[in-house]
Amino acid sequence: MMDGSWVLLALIMLGVFTYYVWPYYRLRQVITAPFPAEWRAIIRRNVPTYRYLPTDLQHQLQRLVKQFIHQKEFTGCNGLVITDEIKVTIAASACLLLLNRKTDVFGGLRYILVYPSAFSVPREGEDEAGLRHAYPAHLLGESWANGKVILSWEDVLKGNQDRHDGMNLVLHEFAHQLDSEAGTVNGAPVLANKKRYQRWADVFQREFQALQQAALQGDHTLLDYYGATNPAEFFAVVTEVFFEQPQAMQQLHPELFSELKYYYKVDPRDWD
């Protein structure tokens, strides 16, 4: 019969295996498994950018999608039933942001809540008299720093239909997730070194202020005015444009394009 020390050692080893070894083993199984043909058909149909990626990036995206779906928990809201189509479409759209990058697959993210269409959430605001009021905010998506993303399925599909309109709900909300990995959501994701942060700050502050001025004056601009709300929304908005209107961004905002190209490690101009 084992004495107490052997029992304790066995329990420790079991805990190590359960907490560290088994999850790694299961992830390796998932990543090395063949990519389902049904999933590939979903991506080709619902994420048209996939069809224009070179073969190596398509394979990267497939691996990322498998890991994303394995690690994240999807929940349907307002009666929406989560299907493979929903999971694969969202995962593939989000993982476009991770191609060629040595990074976790949105390591801080655990839950994805999906509504059938636009949804309402309670908010509080202050009126001109300083009184606080509760009101419903009507949203297409939200990204929270506590490990949640909320999406409207209708608008996920709509954002993917036109891959050149510069508006994509999933790219926007998951750019916020990348932003939050630095510890604060302030428009500056995790960068390589101090020099890169300084360069990023110089370019982004200048471009952000220019967009704010354009919004005040009602000037036409490639970038949506929503990006003038704050630096975090600016990063999310320019991410959408970088992936969907790269030629125009490079021509009109070359420094901004260069910073995003360095960060994302891809050049979407090659995908046409």
Domains of the chain (ranges; CATH) run: 35-123+131-271 (3.40.390.10)
Is 264 a residue whose pLDDT tops 90?
yes
Instruction: Please tell me whether the overall predicted TM-score, pTM, comes out greater than 0.95 for this model.
Output: no
pLDDT band at 40 (very low <50, low <70, confident <90, very high): very high
Q: What is the pLDDT of residue 261?
A: 98
Higher pLDDT, 159 or 2: 159
**Separation of alpha carbons 98 and 87, rounded Å:** 17
Higher pLDDT, 30 or 209: 209
Q: What is the pLDDT of residue 1?
A: 44
Q: What is the pLDDT of residue 124?
A: 66
Q: What is the pLDDT of residue 234?
A: 98
Q: Which residue matches tokens 């952000």? A: 208
Segment 126-169, tens digit of pLDDT: 656 666 666 667 789 999 988 999 999 999 999 999 999 999 99
Is 22 a residue whose pLDDT tops 80?
no
Closest CA to 199 of 261, 267, 256: 256
Q: What does pLDDT average to over the chain?
A: 90
The SS3 assignment for 255 reads helix
Q: Structure tokens of 230?
A: 């704050």
